[in-house]
Amino acid sequence: PPVFFKRQPVVMKAVARWREPAIMAAIERGLRAEADCKRTGAVPEAIVRQMLLGLAQRAARA
For the question of whether the overall pTM of this predicted structure is more than 0.85, the answer is no
The DSSP output letter for 2 is P
Q: Which pLDDT score is estimated for 4? A: 96
User: Averaged over 7-24, what is the pLDDT?
Assistant: 91
What pLDDT sits at residue 29?
A: 96
Kindly list the distances between the CA atom of residue 26 and the CA atoms of 4, 5, 6, 7, 41, in Å, as whole numbers in the listed order: 23, 25, 26, 22, 23
The string of pLDDT tens digits covering residues 25-49 is: 999 999 999 999 999 989 999 999 9
